[in-house]
Structure 1
């Protein structure tokens, strides 16, 4: 494992770990490889749910609404346990039904998940909003992995030398898309951030159906209300939003998770030139992707 700190000609600095030729977040446990081995061999249970996202793609929002549906309660569950950052023994001891999370690219998830032995919820957000949201997040946390301006950040995001969990947004998205197309064993529900924003209740019904839980319409309507962005943002300010694991990044581990939660914020953050660069790189990097993915950018 190599800890990489790169500084460009304008003083923009990014920090990440490099292992087996891939990039991982600085806080990935240990030498990364040992943690990846533990994740690969993780012993799952039939009622486990693994939430998979690239950073800033609606992780906490989807986690909390899916957790409400899974448990039949309206309690705010805070931040999910993340496989690459948490001691695996802590996840192993969680009571059933469990729901845990990873930002990891597909090749690094538990082998049991690849074999369909647990349910996977995969959420994808349009890359421009994900990139801009991640920049804002990095600007607000303590001990940030990135220091600098948007131009330098965008250059890093569009490269493979980024704060990933096994790869850039492009690698992450292509590998998950290829896996869904090629692996019939996957027990997976694919959600789009933008679809959730358009019709939250319809997607709550999808999640309930996927989890095969019996929740009546009245309860699911309450989930829709309770899991609204503004309500979760408020709940995050309570003690339930604190996390011992992330104390070095935020107030009592309460990270600045909830920003605006809208579609199209990139229009307020990217210049015309930056957006054109983004489009050029996207076209180049995604031209060999299996199948097609369309995005709502508005």
Structure 2
């Protein structure tokens, strides 16, 4: 490291929330890390942390210092890695739970424009804690709020709607009655979407009217589109997937009930690398 061990200890304690966790990350024992923090506070003449029962939190002066240093510190780590290993990190990693293909397409386009590499992967609530940070190069697109020590909220896209994609004849057969459409046809649903409270609530509402819903779990959009062209099934999705003329016999109907609205939360690594900076303006404009 080009920076001092004192600063490294400071950043590790901020990131991990306690001396013991920071020590494990740094492959050191707790007393040397505690001494580094004490010496760092003595050099600066400031109290940087509040010692609490279950860990350590920043004072206002510590928070100001962290905000000033976090980007510079991560850039220093990148520079160190580059000169030691000769490897330049030019990748970002995007995790999403379901849907959101319109945002993922924008990320692909931005990566191509910025000569960056992008890895896009699925995650579920059950394995969220297993998502690695990748040295500050990670973004998460989630339909629900998440609490994490590694990631912070960057942007929130509000009032998004789910919708139904199906054959036009199915809609005509029920005279545009959406309740009948939902109750009389099979639902095709992304596995992660089907687990959400919104879909469960919609399913329960239909069931309470005396008609049990039949759901088939399918997570490939193109497969679903081909399937609904020949079957009496409804694709539940978060955007209009109809892009070409051969899909002219299909239609898309937004579900505008307030209880079906959802938000897309975009999280980033708590302190991010320089490569992630290339995507921040794009994220701020997403809607």
TM-score range, shorter chain: under 0.3
**TM-score, normalised on structure 2?**
0.25
**TM-score, normalised on structure 1?**
0.24
Looking at CA atoms only, which structure, 1 or 2, has the larger radius of gyration? Answer: 2
Instruction: Identify the structure with the greater strand proportion.
Output: 2
